[in-house]
Structure 1
Amino acid sequence: MTDQADAGRTVGATAAQMGVTIRTLHHWDAIGLVCPTERTDAGYRLYTSADLARIHRVLIYRELGVPLDEIKTVLDAPATDATSSLRRQRDELRERAARLQQMADGMDRMIEARASGILLSAEEQIEIFGEHWQPNWTAEAHERWGDTAQWAQYAERAAQRTAEDWQQIAATVDALNTDLAAAYRAGVLPGSAEANTLAERHRASIDTYFDCPPAMHLCIARTYLTTPDHTTFYNTLAPGLTPWLSAIIHANAEATMH
């Protein structure tokens, strides 16, 4: 029995004091992790101050993610073995912390991308996409499409992209626009094999940002005729290019969907 200076505590009192359940203490007792040192004359378990100190250490290790069997090993092992085990657990925790930090950083980029649409400064955008590019376009797109699944998908992809990735995308789009203007000037007819190939390249360029099946591509092409920025942009490449581009996309989508 313990003396009054270290009067044993019952399972219920100990559970309440340490913030665990009675069932937990029974389990720890059963596996030999924390066994109450004392018993009453009637055979009831009593936890001493030393037992409470061990419970406190178990709670610390459990909070750090150390499995119960390893906690027992650490607590019962000689000092040298315990130190080695703790160092191993520390290294694993640091690795886990690093992974969690990477995930948190990724979430930050995702949040920022959902709001801004592109993780580049205005100066970087103009440098990469050219002088015709208006940095406010993404803000306008977010205001119009920010609640759509397509914008969410665009933001997810944008969050992973570097300036170099955007440069590659911009180069691909520039090459496509050059070929579109050249085909239009050459009189390529909507519905022809050459026109359909260009339409598919155009759809693929949109597919870079979010999934763009032919039906959606057709809807986007229709907006080119009513959205001043798009109309002006394509007609700047070649006067009359905008309606021709809409026409070749329409013809290709109709052929693809039927």
Structure 2
Amino acid sequence: MGYSVGQVAAYAGVTVRTLHHYDKVGLLSPSGRSDAGYRFYDEADLTRLQQVLFYRELGFPLNEIAAILQDPHANAAEHLRARQQQLSQEIARLQRLSEVAERAIEVQQTGVALTPEERFDVFGEVSFDLSYATEAQVRWRHSAAHQEAMARADAYSKEDWRQLMREAAVWRAEVLAAFDDGEPADGERVMDLAEEHRRHLTRWFTDCPPAMHRRIADDFVADRRAFALVVPPSQQRPGLAAYLCAAIHANAARPDIPRTGSGDER
């Protein structure tokens, strides 16, 4: 007794079009046809279909499924172990994405509620990349310093942010002037500006010991999104991120810099 393509599709929970495609690519061809040319599947065909659907559920591509089923010497266990490893990696990736999405929701729900016009009025060209802020949330969510910084930022009023950004703009103008004047990164003028930045972070967000400040500076070089929080793209110069990073490292090495905290919180 044979089964029609419609019956097999209903039994297996697939479409007739899928069965036609499997037949076309040689993955599952019906064992017989009626005089009118209609496909008929037997019990062996259904068993093979179960195997195909099993491997498809695991994400195997059709050509690999065909190789496994057609080669009697194929080691299915090796294919399955390799796929298990891929699935484990994918599960870990999706878990990270889920966590990032969760943190993104938190990021969007925190901070000062401003209209786009108000946000530009307060922050100007300085951009806050949501993906960077979200990654920071995920990376430092167990850090007491990061939690303090987020809590303080969340509590600031629009006027607080205006004052913060005014201070940052004055400091940024001085850094750009020093860079354009060719001042050395480890010169006293630029190191003093680096120290001013460290004190700015401590004053507005959280205690920023030199060790923490160095790690923040390293992010300026490694991630353009981090540097954009300090210098908007329209004001950036080639080499400026590395210049500021070098100044912060030089300042952190000065013996007279206060070394409050361990610097390990961030």
TM-score normalized by the length of structure 2: 0.49
Render the CA deviation track for 1:134-163: whole Å, top value 9, x for unaligned: 362544432332332122111332243211
Give the helix-richer structure, 1 or 2: 1
On the 8 A contact 2:127/2:228 being kept in 1, the answer is no
1:248 corresponding residue in structure 2 = 247
Counterpart of 1:153 (choices 141, 148, 156) is 148
CA distance in 1, matches of 2:133, 2:120: 13
Matched, 1:215 2:208: no
2:113 corresponding residue in structure 1 = 120
Distance 1:113 1:164, change over 3 A: farther
Q: Superposed, which structure 2 residues align to 1:17-28 within 5 Å?
A: none
On the 8 A contact 2:107/2:133 being kept in 1, the answer is no
On the 8 A contact 1:189/1:195 being kept in 2, the answer is yes
On the 8 A contact 1:126/1:135 being kept in 2, the answer is no
CA distance in 2, matches of 1:139, 1:120: 18
CA distance in 2, matches of 1:134, 1:196: 26
Post-superposition offset of 1:221 = 0.6
CA distance in 1, matches of 2:228, 2:161: 23
Distance 1:225 1:179, change over 3 A: same
On the 8 A contact 2:219/2:227 being kept in 1, the answer is no
Counterpart of 2:224 (choices 225, 228, 240) is 228
CA distance in 1, matches of 2:246, 2:197: 13
Distance 1:219 1:134, change over 3 A: closer
Greater Rg by CA: 1
> Which residue identity is paired with 1:121?
L
CA distance in 2, matches of 1:115, 1:232: 19
Counterpart of 1:162 (choices 157, 162, 169) is 157
Same amino acid, percent of matched pairs: 28
CA distance in 1, matches of 2:160, 2:106: 15
2:188 corresponding residue in structure 1 = 193
Render the CA deviation track for 1:158-183: whole Å, top value 9, x for unaligned: 24321100100011111111111110
Post-superposition offset of 1:184 = 0.5
CA distance in 2, matches of 1:186, 1:217: 24
Distance 1:174 1:140, change over 3 A: farther
Counterpart of 2:200 (choices 192, 205, 212) is 205
> Which residue identity is paired with 1:211?
D
Post-superposition offset of 1:193 = 1.5
On the 8 A contact 1:125/1:135 being kept in 2, the answer is no
> Which residue identity is paired with 1:153?
E
Post-superposition offset of 1:131 = 3.2
| Bigger relative contact order, structure 1 or 2 (CA pairs below 8 A, ≥6 apart) | 2
Render the CA deviation track for 1:194-221: whole Å, top value 9, x for unaligned: 1121011111222221110111101111
> Which residue identity is paired with 1:247?
A
Q: Superposed, which structure 2 residues align to 1:40-119 within 5 Å?
A: 116-119=109-112
Unaligned segments of structure 1, at least 5 residues:
1-111
CA distance in 2, matches of 1:219, 1:254: 13
On the 8 A contact 1:196/1:248 being kept in 2, the answer is yes
On the 8 A contact 1:224/1:242 being kept in 2, the answer is yes
Post-superposition offset of 1:236 = 4.0
CA distance in 2, matches of 1:149, 1:122: 30
CA distance in 1, matches of 2:133, 2:228: 17
Unaligned segments of structure 2, at least 5 residues:
1-104, 260-266
Matched length: 147
CA distance in 2, matches of 1:202, 1:122: 28
1:237 corresponding residue in structure 2 = 235
On the 8 A contact 2:198/2:213 being kept in 1, the answer is yes
